[in-house]
Every structure is written in C-alpha cells, then in structure tokens.
Amino acid sequence: MLARVHDAGTPLALPHLIFAIDRGQADKVYFIHSRRFQFHEQFLKARDHVSDFGPGGLNENYRSPQRRYLFGTLAWRAQAKAWAYEFWEGDQLTPELLALAQQRLSQQFFAPVLFKPNSAAQEAVGQGLKLSLLTQANVIAQQGFLPLNPGRAVGRLRVLSPGQSVDGLEPDDIALLQEVPLSLPPVAGVITTRPSTTLSHVNLLAKGWGIPNAYVREVKDWLALDGQWVDLQVQRTGVSVVPSRAEARSAVHRPGTPKAWPQPDLKRAALLPLGQMRAADRQRCGSKAANLGELTHAQQRGGLKDVAPVPDGFCIPFADFAAFMAQPQAQQAVQAAQATPGFAQSRQVRTQALAQLREALVAMPLPEGQAARWQAAWQRQLAGDGVFVRSSSNSEDLPGFSGAGLYTTVPNVKQADALAQAVKTVWASVFNAEAWEARRWHGVPHDKVVMGVLVQRAIDARASGVMLTLNPFDTAQSAVTYVSAKRGLGIRVVEGRRLAEQVLYARRSNAIQVLSRSDDPTALLLDAQGGVREQAVEPGRAVLSDEVVRQLAHMGEQVRSLLGHGPQDIEWAIDPQGRLVILQARPFVQARGLP
C-alpha cells in the first residue's frame, strides 16, 4: 500500500498519497510511496540522487507556468464517495497545467477523479475548464459537522425544538439546538443542527465562555439522551456525546471569581468627539469607543491609507449614565427588580424582572440638560445625519471575558426625539438578561458596570461583516485571516440566523479559500425614515471579490499593529463608494475550558 491515512479512526479519516507529474519525462505520473516519503522533494532527491533543490528551485515548481513538475495529493473523500486530487493552496496553476493534471491522472489512475481546488484562484481555473469540482464548501457541507469551539463538558443534555425558548436553560445544561437562537444564557456546551457563521452571536458567546460548541447535522442517536447527564467532546476530527454522571461535571461549569476591575471615570461629563479620543479614554467611554478613537487618530497621521475614514461620532461618557442611574426612581427600579421573589434562584424570574426594569428605565426622564447637549453635538458635529447609537461599556474586552454581543445597538436614528430614547435603550441594555447572566457566570460585579454610548454616523453599506486576524478553526494559525460577509448591513452576520459568506486568506501563499457562500435572500439597508429595511438579493452569489478579501486582510493586519492587543475582532463595511470602512475593532478574547 502506497497511501497513508490522516486522522485514522475518525470521521475525518483521509487515505491519500502524493503524486508528481514530470513534464521533463513525457508527462510521466509518479504515485509516490507516501508512508516512506512525506514530501515530494524527498522522493525526487532519492530518485535523482540530488542533495538539495534549494528554496528557489522548489518555489519554481509551485509558481512557474514553465515548471518541470506538478506536485499534488490524491485522496479518497468518503463523504463525497469520490477520489479527488488537489494542490497546495498557493500553487499558481494555469489552465494548461490543470488540464494536463486532469488528463494524466484520468489516464493513469484506476478510478474517476475530481479536482478539489484549495483557493478561489484554483477554483476559477477549474470552472473555466469545466472540470468536475469538489470545493471546500462542498467538503464542509458533506462532512456533516463543524467544530466551532473544541473542548469537553459534562452536563445535562437539553434538546430544544425550533421556536422553543432558551430561557429555561441552566448553566449545567448542554443545549442541543435545532434552530440557532438570537441569544443564549450561559450553558455548559452547545450543539446546533443548522450551520451558522463562525462569528455569529451564539458562537462568540460560546468562545467567550470557553465551552465546547459544534454544528452537527445528524443528531437522531442523541435525542434519546434528552434530560440525561452526558459527556460532550468536540474535537477537530469529530463530535461525541455519551452518557455520564452528574458527579463528573467540572468546576469549569460554575461561575468564576470576580476579576480585577478597571476604575471608570464618573466625574467628567463632557462629550468626546471621536477624533479627540485615545486609548486612555476607555476610562470615560469604554474600550469600543476608545479603540475607534485610536484608529481615527492613526488616520489623521497618515495611517490606514487605503481605508475610508472611520465614521465620525462622539461619545456620551460614563458620567452621564451614572447621573441617570443615580436618580431616585432609577435606584428604586433596580432595587425592586432584584427584590422580586425568586430573583436570585430562578433565571426565568430574573429574565422577566429585568425586562420590566429595562422598560421602566427607558420611560424615565433624563437629568436636566443631557438631551440638549446630545442634540447640539449631533447637529454641530454630524449635521443631524442618521446615526448608529452603539454601546461601549467597561465590562467588555476584559481578560477571559469579551462581553461581545451582550449589549444593544440602535441602528439609523434620524428623528430628534429618537436620540434620547436610543441612548436610554443602550443604557438599559446593561440589564439585558443575557448580559446579566454572562456577568453572573463570570463573577463580574453588576454594580460596577457602567455604559458609555457612541453616537456614530450611519453608513449605508453595500456589504459588511466581521473579520478575525487569525483562523478561528485553528487559532494557532495567526498568519490566516477569517472573513464573514453579506450584502447590506451586517446585523444578520452577528445574529447567525442566515449563513454568511465565509473565506480564509493565507498570507504566506496569498491564497483565498471559500468556506461558504451567503444564503440570505435579503439585504438590510438604511431606511430613509430611520431604522432599516429589507431588499431582495440573489443568494449564493459571491459577496466579496478576491481583491477585496486581500484588502480586508491587509487592513486587519494594520489594525492589529496599531492597537497592539494581539488578534483582532473587526467589524467592517464597504461604503457606497466601494471603500473599506472600520466600524469596530476589539481584541479577540477566548476563554479556556476543559481540554
């Protein structure tokens, strides 16, 4: 047997061998003993008694149209029930080279073969030749599972049918969800039966909590375990659920201890224009707003040259929130909510009490003069243009606790009286049930949380999404950029209800790999009257060109260098002029669970 097997004994077992086509010997095909020779060059050195090809010679055989050799891999793809050949993602295949490979392998191999492109450029060449393709998106779809956050947990399996509320889930539950919810309380593990974007809200929560999380298509064998204690293991090579005992659960499923807490500035109430903000202003406005201030400052000094200016805006600081919450009626409302019978014991009681609290806070009057100051800044600095009213709290981007997606953003506020309501809505989101439960789980003290608000000019995006400056499927790969995208505003990318376009860009090879295309038949656009509206679009068509993906990756590396916080989680858009726009940048925080 010439073949070796990657991931033997797992659902991803991949029997394969490497091959070489020698154009200097009448296009002879060599099927190489792959257990003896790990790399193509080892085989050629042994065959030709060459001591070293050198990096230049080896590089020539992956990039030059006049190369002597074609180096590839031929593998049995069990899910597709087909043999498929592929090349390194950075291999700059020409139509002539790929046609030669297809012809010679079809002649020399005992079974029909498909071509598996490993980059968008290779896929385009294959499509041009009208070859039978097995794309990475096909492989993922046929694979039937995707490990979104590897790890292990012991908990009580809870099977939720479509439309069933997640409010009854408890921290020791492992949730098997047949529909991706908009939000999720802290749980021990998550299994979804519908694919969603890696950076959807639920998936980001799972990463922040450090819990195992996976998409699994076929779960019928696990449904009978509903209500029982199980051991969930999510690995790169598969997902397993087996019966267990409550005693086996780990302390990782219990709320953490309070962390060192950054002291907010509650005294200075002056509004801060984005162009004047720096990193130190996180004490007044939160890290989300402060990071955008740093990026705006960098652009003012000539940085981020190929990126449109960060949309202008201003920060309503923590001091205004503190003044609002110090009002006797606000204090009484908070105390009454927490005094609700069963509040400390029951999540469902807390959820209802917190909803009533938010409603009461939004209905309360503002301290005298606050609304007038905001209106004046809106007109003076932003000419009264439509704005997004964004949260920027002091309980985000902490070590081991990202806080991403817990608080509320109000899109495209246009009416004068709507600004005050939007700000109060963002303030009240401190008491979102999901935010309360996440803080409780991590030991973040509720009474220390304060909320800043970023009032920022709205962008009517042609496309938008989220980007990570690493590979979320293998976080050790820091030279890879992950991008998710859809047409219009990116709200649904985060919600995860629809599958976004997902691509990986590898800097070393300059290659782009498409993981999925957007299946959303509608785009969200700014409404002239305020808020957003839907517009029909064609699903399945590419949202981003290869050029834009590379521009995004380059922008991400610049942001990472400017902010200096390690891997970055970046919200971006493409404006009506086709320019890239940064809407948010924050460190990518991932908690650690069980190995």
Q: Per-residue pLDDT averaged across 154-175, rounded?
A: 90
User: Phi, psi at residue 575, to the nearest 5°?
Assistant: -80, 175
- 3-class state of residue 19 by DSSP: strand
Strands 173-177 and 189-192: parallel
Residue 105: predicted pLDDT: 98
What is the pLDDT at residue 86?
Answer: 96
Query: Which position has the token pair 């201030």?
Result: 293
| CA pair distance 136, 140, nearest whole angstrom | 6
Find the range with the poorest average confidence among 7-21, 221-235, 367-381, 491-505.
491-505
Residue finishing a domain among 456, 478, 502: 456
So what's the pLDDT on residue 595?
42
Same domain, 230 and 192: yes
Same domain, 8 and 68: yes
Tell me: the pLDDT tens digits for 216-228?
999 999 999 999 9
Q: Is 572 helix (H, G, I), strand (E, B) or coil?
A: strand
> What pLDDT sits at residue 410?
96
Asked whether residue 255 carries a pLDDT value surpassing 60, the answer given is: no
End position of a domain, from candidates 428, 456, 484: 456
Same domain for 223 and 356, yes or no, is: no
Sign of CA dihedral 564, 565, 569, 570: negative
Q: Which residue has the tokens 């800043």?
A: 452
Classify residue 528: in a domain, yes or no.
Answer: yes
In a domain, 267, yes or no: no
Among 11-15, 88-92, 273-277, name the most confident range: 273-277
379 vs 141, residue with greater confidence: 379
Residues 212 and 236 both lie in one domain = yes
d(CA 562, CA 528): 35
Instruction: List, for residues 513-537, the tens digit of each pLDDT value.
Output: 988 888 888 888 999 999 999 898 8
One domain for residues 378 and 450:
yes
β-pairing verdict for 501-506 and 213-216: unpaired
Question: To the nearest whole number, what is the mean pLDDT of the chain?
Answer: 89
CATH number at residue 304: 3.30.1490.20
Alpha-carbon separation of residue 505 from 166, 195, 437, 554, 578 (angstroms): 35, 21, 36, 10, 20
Residue 259 pLDDT greater than 70, yes or no: no
Specify whether 305 is located in the same domain as 415. yes
Q: How far is CA 202 from the centre of its chain?
A: 10
Going by pLDDT thresholds of 50, 70 and 90, the confidence category of residue 97 is: very high
Angle, vertex CA 177, rays to CA 181 and CA 396, nearest 5: 45
Structure tokens at 19: 């091959």
Full 3-state SS string of 237-277? CEEEEEECCHHHCCHHHCCCCCCCCCCCCCCCCCCEEHHHC
DSSP notation for 504-539: EEETTTTEEEEEE----SEEEEE-TTSSEEEEE--T
For residue 257 the two structure tokens come to: 């201890």
- Answer yes or no: is 375 within a domain: yes
Average pLDDT of 275-284? 95
CATH code, domain with 564: 3.30.470.20
Tell me, what's the pLDDT at 258? 44
What's the CA gap between 214 and 195, in Å, rounded? 9
Residue 446 in domain: yes
For residue 422 the two structure tokens come to 């939007």
**Nearest CA-CA partner of 583 in 516, 505, 471, 494:** 494
pLDDT at 494: 59
Is 263 part of a structural domain of the chain?
A: no
- Domain with 219 in it: what CATH number? 3.50.30.10
3-state secondary structure string across 189-239: EEEECCCCCCCCHHHHHHHHHCCCEEEECCCHHHHHHCCCEEEEEEECCEE
Residue 197 is encoded by which pair of tokens? 């974007």
Structure tokens given for 525? 């656009």
- Give me the number of domains the chain comprises: 4
Do 189 and 119 have their domain in common? Answer: no
d(CA 239, CA 230): 13
Closest to 546 (Cα-Cα) out of 594, 583, 509: 509
- DSSP tally for the chain: helices H, then strands E: 16, 26
Place of tokens 């070293």: 52
Contact 265, 449 (CB under 8 A): no
In the block, tokens 């042609």 appear at 462
Q: What is the SS3 assignment for 574? A: strand
The last residue of one of the domains, among 423, 456, 489, is 456
Does residue 1 surpass a pLDDT of 60? no
Euclidean distance between CA atoms 92 and 62, whole angstroms: 6
Of 182, 77, 213, nearest in space to 135 by CA: 77
**What is the residue-wise DSSP string for 283-339?**
HHH-HHHHHHHHHHHHHHTT-STTSPPPPPEEEE-HHHHHHHHTSHHHHHHHHHHHT
Say if 266 falls within a structural domain: no
User: What pLDDT sits at residue 398?
Assistant: 79
How high is the pLDDT of residue 252? Answer: 43
Same domain membership, residue 410 and residue 281: yes
Vertex 387 angle, CA 469 and 525, to 5°: 75
Phi, psi for 499 (deg, rounded to 5) = -75, 130
558 and 537, same structural domain?
yes
Query: Domain check: are 372 and 390 in the same one?
Result: yes
User: In the numeric block, which tokens belong to residue 577?
Assistant: 């002029």
Do 293 and 211 share a structural domain? no
592 inside domain: no
User: Each residue of 289-313: pLDDT tens digit?
Assistant: 999 999 999 999 999 988 999 999 9
Task: Indicate whether 314 and 413 sit together in one domain.
Answer: yes
Q: Which of 557, 544, 586, 571 is nearest to 466 (CA)?
A: 571
Q: What is the pLDDT of residues 23-78, one digit of tens each?
A: 999 999 999 998 889 888 888 888 877 665 666 666 788 889 999 999 999 999 99
Q: What is the DSSP letter of 461?
A: -
Residue 309 has phi, psi (to 5 degrees) of: -55, 140
Q: What is the pLDDT of residue 273?
A: 98
Task: For residue 99, give its domain range.
Answer: 4-135
Is there a domain that residue 260 lies in? Answer: no
Q: Are 256 and 399 in contact (CB under 8 A)?
A: no
Q: Up-side HSE of residue 141: CA atoms within 13 Å toward CB?
A: 11
Residue 572 or 248, more confident: 572
Query: Which pTM value belongs to this model?
Result: 0.84
